[in-house]
Chains A and B, each alone.
Chain A
Amino acid sequence: MNPFSYSRPAGIAEAIGQAGPGSRFIAGGTNLLDLMKENVEQPARVIDITGLPLHDVVPTPDGGLRIGALVSNADLAWLPQVEWQYPLLSQAILAGASPQLRNMATTGGNLLQRTRCYYFYDAGVPCNKRKPGSGCPAREGLNRIHAIFGASAECVATHPSDMCVALAALEAVVHVQGRAGARTIEFADFHRLPADHPERDNQLADDELITAIELPAEGFAAHSHYLKVRDRASYAFALVSVAAALTLDGPTITAARLALGGVAHKPWRDRAVEAQLVGQPVSHETFTAAAEALVRDAEPLAHNAFKVRLVRRAVVRALEQAALGGQPS
């Protein structure tokens, strides 16, 4: 790890005032310290934000929930209100990482995880995300875990979070604050596709801090399911994951949300497919047709064509589980 200066501001404005190029905020530190040990991240200044007043979870006037950025992943997943109103979020969080890491990792930090692409993590090889313009060994190299949707010539990395897949499906809103003031970002717009700037994972400016995640009132509690497919039974990143959420009127689908993890540079949503589900009856045929439509634009690489089939099957299964009532299988 490189030497750095350390500070622990007591207020949000003070923290933002200290931020800039070469600085990193630290809270749980579970990904940042790991990357610092690999010399992928070498911040000159580390700003400890754990003393900021961002630990509360409060109901919003419209029936939603505002989650402070410093609430731990474990506390959030096991919060009774989240288990009851947003079981999809609870399931997704508990599908990720390990109990130790979930105790440390924060809500805001989870959004800022970097990809686990092997080449990004290896400071001894080129990587456009780590060093813009240096090249992408993954595109022609080992790319079993990489993207099948929305990749670019410069980058085929995937976003690693489970929690973010659920937040995308639930259409959360990200509250951020910077020196220019506070603003909100729709979850779908928060993370970026790589395009020509894979070094930028999201829309945050250097001085901007995530302060809260806000969930709308609709949590799809009766019909949602998070399905994660990985190389071992627990504690592994998703090859493919699906957050599925439905509202039903009898046998008819009246609203649908689908978000995928492990397949793109950001949680992947396809609104045309969601729209296609609305008005259809709950059936294997309905869900298969949606899954077929979803993978039509997939662009697999040499080693990850299996993800196309896996997405198709995982989407059908997640939707079927959601229709049944969504308990973890």
Chain B
Amino acid sequence: MSETTHTLELTLNGQPRSLQVLPWTTLLDLLREQLDLVGSKKGCDHGQCGACTVLRDGKRVNACLTLAIMCQGAHLTTIEGLADDAGLHPMQAAFIKHDAFQCGYCTPGQICSAVGLLEEGRAQSPAQVRELMSGNLCRCGAYGNIIDAIEDVRAGGGQ
């Protein structure tokens, strides 16, 4: 590592990590290229598609527009960290139940975004869910089933 490398301490999917990063490495590239966590996807790399959405301290953010070095002390959750020993996260189960994807490329970002959406507690109707999921594009057009899956979890029936 060169002298421009910085030490980054963070909690990633529940595990404390100490990493060496270059200042210009994005969080998305750190996850995918250095840590082999390839669930978060690089769609547009410009914050327009939402395929890279992860949860930072519980809030959904675009990993492609986040510098890794600026995540010092953060608690990050990626799609790989949502399931636990008890099984899939309710949102993952609901996406399967409702067939809320076709090719699947946008799905990790959709699911992380949906988990963040419910945590925000602002969406009270399917129309509001649709508006507050506008940062996640699905080129297969699975929106109808994505909204159904999120509504299912929001109503408490995520299995």
Bound Cα distance A325, B130 (Å):
25
Contact B24 A101 (CB under 8 A): no
Number of interface residues of A (CB under 8 A): 29
Minimum distance in angstroms from B72 CB to a CB of chain A: 8
Across the two chains, which residue of chain A brings its CB closest to B58?
A103
User: Secondary structure at chain B's binding surface: helix, strand, loop or mixed?
Assistant: mixed
User: In the complex, are the beta carbons of B23 and A6 less than 8 A apart?
Assistant: yes
Given A50-B70, A235-B135, A100 and B62 contact (CB-CB distance below 8 Å): yes
Q: Which residues of B contact A329 (CB under 8 A)?
A: none
Is A235 a contact partner of B134 (Cβ separation < 8 A)?
A: yes
Known: A100-B113, A101-B47. A5 touches B134 (CB 8 A): no
- Chain A positions 80-134 with a Cβ under 8 Å from a chain B Cβ: 97-101, 103-104
Q: Tell me which of B9-17, B84-92, B114-122 binds A.
A: B114-122
* Residues A100 and B117 in contact, CB atoms below 8 Å apart: no
Which B residues touch A74, using CB under 8 A?
A: 59, 120
- Check if A34 sits within 8 Å of B70, measured CB to CB: no
Q: Which residues of B are found within 8 Å of A1, using beta-carbon distances? A: 24
Known A2-B24, A3-B4; judge A29-B65 contact (CB<8 A): yes
Least distance between B65 CB and chain A CB atoms (Å)? 5
- Please tell me if B66 contacts chain A, counting CB pairs below 8 Å: yes
Partner of B113, one of A37, A99, A234: A99
Complex Cα distance, B46 from A8, in Å, reads 24
In the complex, the answer to whether B66 meets A29 with C-beta atoms within 8 Å is: yes
B93 in contact (CB, < 8 A): no
Known A6-B69, A78-B122; further 9 A-B contacts with Cβ < 8 A:
A6-B23, A34-B46, A74-B120, A99-B117, A100-B47, A100-B113, A103-B56, A103-B61, A104-B61
Q: What 7 A-B pairs are tightest by C-beta distance, nearest first?
A: A98-B135, A6-B23, A234-B134, A235-B134, A1-B24, A103-B59, A100-B135
Q: Could you list 10 A-B pairs, sorted by A, with CB under 8 Å?
A: A2-B24, A29-B70, A46-B67, A48-B67, A99-B113, A99-B116, A100-B62, A100-B116, A101-B135, A103-B116
